[in-house]
Amino acid sequence: MPNYRRYYLPHRPVFVTLVTHARQPWLTTNENIAWLRICWQRVKTQHPFRHIAHVILPDHIHWLFEPTGESNFSAIVAAFKRDVTWSLKRANVGKGLPTNRLWQARFYEHLIRDQEDLNRHLDYIHYNPVKPGLVMRPTDYPYSSLVSWQQRGFYDEQWGEREPLTIQTMNLE
């Protein structure tokens, strides 16, 4: 098995993709997604981070966050995946949960380089449910941070109905 090396920069936003084991679509129920959100909050108390954006699709999650404490993004992701697994299995709420593993062992990460890179990843996250045909418009997808970004004035009401557009700038500092 290859030995992956990750590059860490403290207090730098990172885009991660977490994929379910064997791409099993267990991220489809309101209960399972509610547990994901609870786990994000619990992990945040142990490994502080600033949650920037997310989209939860049936078999994977795109998540953009910035570690703000001593923990690096790998520790945050590991704690999140572990907490979700333990919580769902303990609560036994997930209908159709896989019996063995919930997550693929590895995850994809990309450190955000600059403002343009941040904007591109925000657009990617928020437009992602349209690509596989889950919805026709990004605003129709309930498991995304798009609406909160619209409420802050970064996206207009019709964003993504025609084609992905670039949002206003969000300052990295």
Q: What is the pLDDT of residues 113-139, one digit of tens each?
A: 999 999 999 999 999 999 999 999 999
What distance in Å separates the CA atoms of residue 101 and residue 57, rounded to the nearest whole number?
18
Looking at residue 63, which CATH number applies to its domain? 3.30.70.1290
Residue 97 domain-assigned?
yes
Residue 43 domain-assigned?
yes
pLDDT at residue number 89: 84
Cα angle 126-130-135, degrees, rounded to a multiple of 5: 110
Query: How many domains, in total, are found in the chain?
Result: 1
Residue 70 domain-assigned?
yes
pLDDT at residue number 100: 74
Residue 128 domain-assigned?
yes
In angstroms, the Cα distances linking 144 to 22, 52, 125, 165 are 23, 11, 8, 17
Longest dimension (CA), the chain: 46
Neighbours of 101 (CB within 10 A): 13
Question: 138 near 129, Cβ under 8 Å?
Answer: yes
| 108 conformational bin, left if phi > 0, alpha if psi -120 to 50, beta if neither | beta
For 41-52, b where at least 16 C-beta lie within 10 A, e where not — what string?
Answer: eebbeebebeeb
pLDDT at residue number 104: 95
143 given a catalytic annotation: yes
Q: Give the chain's residues under pLDDT 50.
A: 173
Residue 171 domain-assigned?
no
pLDDT at residue number 2: 62
What's the one-letter identity of residue 53?
A
pLDDT at residue number 90: 83
The active-site residue out of 127, 141, 143, 155 is 143
Residue 157 domain-assigned?
no
Secondary structure element (H or E) that encloses residue 87, with its range: helix 73-91
pLDDT at residue number 66: 97
Which range marks the domain in which residue 102 is found?
14-151
Residue 73 domain-assigned?
yes
pLDDT at residue number 131: 92
pLDDT at residue number 122: 97
Residue 59 domain-assigned?
yes
